[in-house]
Amino acid sequence: MKKYINKISRVILISMLMITTWGCNEFLDETDKSNFTLENYFTLPEHATSVVNSIYESLRPVMQSGFGGGPWMMLEFSTGLANTELGQAQNSLFVRNLINNSDNGYGQTYWTSYYRGIANANLAIEKIPEIEMDSETQNKLLGEARFLRAFYYFNLVRIFGDIPLITSPIDLTSPELYPEAASTAAIYDQIVADLEVAENAGLPWRDTSGRVSLGAVKTLMASVYLTMAGYPLQAGDQYFQLAAEKANDIIQSGTYDLFTDYDKLHSVEDKNQGEHIFMIQYAAFTIPSSWQVSIIPYNRGISAYSAETGGIFSNQEFVNAFENGDKRAEEKTFFYTEYSLESDRSSTKELGDYYIWKHFDEEAQLNTTSSGLNWPVFRFAEVLLIYAEAMNEVSGPTDATYEAINKIRERAELPPLENLSQEEFREAVWREKWVEMCFENKTWFDMVRLRKAWNVVSGEFENYVGHQFTYGPTITERELLFPIPTAEIRNNDKLSQNQGY
C-alpha cells in the first residue's frame, strides 16, 4: 500500500511545484521559483495560471512513443484494424491479440497520468477562488480546470468502468486516500456537472494558443451525451437530443469549418486553427512529439530519424473497405505505401503496408527529427458526425443531417447521401466515422458505446461481442473494458478487477 500512498500524496502535495511547459504558446509559464508551501502558494494570479497549466501536462504521457510502442496505441490495436512490426512492444501485441492483462504498462500510464491531472484540477478548483484576481480570468481558469477534469474522467470511465471519483485535494490524512470505486453513472454525473460549469465560464469560442475553448467544451459535452445515450448507461433518447443540440451550437457558431485540404490536418502551421477544436500541444526542440518514429516502417531507411520502429500501421483490409473513389484511401491522404529513401531522395521505396500519413510531420521526418505537430483531440469533422448521428436518432434523416455528413463526403470526393431510411442513415454515419476519425483514438470508444463492430470484409455492422478480427481473435465480453492496472488493485483492496482479467 505504500506505493499507492506515495503516488497520491506526491501528486497532491507537490502538484503546485510542477514546472509546466505547454507547447510554444503564451502560456509557457513556469511556476514561481521561490520557496513555497501549500499554505502560502496560492496568493497571486500567476499561481492560478501555473496550477491550471500543470493540469494540461497530463495530456502528454499517453502519447509517448518509441521502441516500446505507445500507450495511445492501446485504443487502436483494440479495434482489430491496426498492425505492428515492433516485436518487442509486447503491450501492443497483448492488446492486438486480445490476450491483454492487468500488467500492461499502457493502461497504467492512462491511469497514472490522468489521475495526476485530476489531482491538479482538484487543487485548482479548490484554491483558485481564494486568490484575489480579475474575476473574468479567474472564471476562465476554473472553466479550463473543470473541462480537463471532465475529459480525464470521461476517458478513464470508458476505459476502466467503475473507478474512484475524487473531486477534492487529498493528503495522507484524507479518507479518500484509499477510495472505493464509484458507479459509472456517478462518474458521468460529475463529468456533466463540470462541463456545465465550464460552458458558462466565459471561455472564447476558439483559442489559437491551444488552451481550452468554448468549442472544446461543447464538443466534449456532445460526445459525453452521445455516449450516455448508448452503452453502458443507455440513459435515454433525451441524451441524443442533448448531443445534437451541443453539436449544433458549434456548427451554428460559424467558428469552425473543415479544411479543404487534408494535408492541413497534419500541418504544423495550421495547428489550433481551422478544423482543429482542441489539440495536445507540442513544440519542436522544446517539447517535441514522439509518435513520428512509430508511424514509419521498421528500419526501411526512409526517415532522418535514427529510430524507425514500425510501431503501428493500418490493416490492408480496413483501407480496402473504403468506398470506391474515396480520396482518403488515396496515397498520402490518410495513408502512405511508398516513400523516398533517406540516402537518396530521388529513389522511392515500396513499403508494403498502409502507414499513417494523417499524423506524418514531413519536415521532421525529412530534416529536423524534432516535430512540433500537435495531436488532434477534437476536430470539426467529429462534430458534424455527432450531430448527424444524434439528430437521426431523434427525428430520422433531415436536410440538416444530410448536410452535415455530406460535407465530409464532399471533401472525400464521394457522392452525397440521399433518400435513406433511419437505419440506413445510422449505419452510413457509423461507417463515415470509422473512416474519417480512424487512428485518432475514437473508434474503440464507438465500438463499445454502440456494441457494434464494422466487418471490413462483408461491409456490415455486427455485434461487438463475437466480432472476429480479420487476423483471427474474437472479441469477448471482457473486451468491453480494459483491466485496472495490477498496482492499483494490489495497493487498494477496495478496488475490484474488471470481469475476465
**Total Cβ atoms within 10 A of residue 323:** 16
320 and 79 Cβ atoms separated by less than 8 Å: no
Tell me the CA distances in angstroms from 410 to 258, 403, 406, 407, 500, one per residue in order. 11, 10, 6, 5, 44
Query: Cα–Cα distance between 298 and 286 in angstroms, integer?
Result: 26
Which residues have C-beta within 8 Å of that of residue 193, sequence separation ≥ 6? none
Query: Cα–Cα distance between 480 and 466 in angstroms, integer?
Result: 12
* Residue where the block lists cell 486480445: 98
Closest alpha carbon to 501 in 104, 62, 87, 76: 104
Closest alpha carbon to 312 in 106, 66, 482, 60: 66
- Residue 464, pLDDT score: 98
- Residue 308, pLDDT score: 97
Helix then strand count (H, E) for the chain reads: 16, 8
Question: Which CATH architecture describes the domain 2-202+482-491?
Answer: Alpha Horseshoe (1.25)
Tell me the CA distances in angstroms from 389 to 211, 386, 435, 494, one per residue in order. 28, 5, 15, 39
Query: Cα–Cα distance between 159 and 111 in angstroms, integer?
Result: 9
Closest alpha carbon to 437 in 492, 493, 359, 342: 359
Domain extent listing, the chain: 2-202+482-491, 212-279+377-470, 290-371
Which DSSP string do the residues of 278-320 spell out, in sequence order? EEE--BTTTB-B-GGGGSS-TT-S-SSSS------EE-HHHHH
113 and 346 Cβ atoms separated by less than 8 Å: no
Closest alpha carbon to 27 in 51, 58, 49: 49
Query: Cα–Cα distance between 304 and 365 in angstroms, integer?
Result: 6
319 and 253 Cβ atoms separated by less than 8 Å: no
- Residue 176, pLDDT score: 78
CATH class of 212-279+377-470: mainly alpha
153-182 core/surface letters (b: 16 or more CB in 10 A; e: else): bbbbbbbbbbbbbbeebbeeeeeebbbebb
- Residue 38, pLDDT score: 67
Enter the C-alpha cell of residue 305: 530519424
Bridge partners of 63, per DSSP, are none
DSSP 375: E
**CATH topology match: 2-202+482-491 vs 212-279+377-470:** yes
429 and 389 Cβ atoms separated by less than 8 Å: yes
Angle, helices 105-127 vs 135-160, to 10°: value is: 150
- Residue 145, pLDDT score: 98
Which residues have C-beta within 8 Å of that of residue 136, sequence separation ≥ 6? 202
Collapsing DSSP to helix, strand or coil, 472 comes out as coil
Enter the C-alpha cell of residue 430: 457509423
Query: Cα–Cα distance between 56 and 205 in angstroms, integer?
Result: 19
∠ Cα 436 439 440 (to 5°): 80
Tell me the CA distances in angstroms from 178 to 13, 160, 323, one per residue in order. 16, 17, 51
Per-residue pLDDT for the chain (501 aa), expressed as one digit of tens each? 333 333 433 343 344 333 333 333 444 344 444 455 666 788 999 999 999 999 999 999 999 999 999 999 999 999 999 999 999 999 999 999 999 999 999 999 999 999 999 999 999 999 999 999 999 999 999 999 999 999 999 999 999 999 999 999 988 888 778 899 999 999 999 999 999 999 999 999 999 999 999 999 999 999 999 999 999 999 999 999 999 999 999 999 999 999 999 999 999 999 999 999 999 999 999 999 999 999 999 999 999 999 999 999 999 999 999 999 999 999 999 999 999 999 999 999 999 999 999 999 999 999 999 999 999 999 999 999 999 999 999 999 999 999 999 999 999 999 999 999 999 999 999 999 999 999 999 999 999 999 999 999 999 999 999 999 999 999 999 999 999 999 999 999 999 999 999
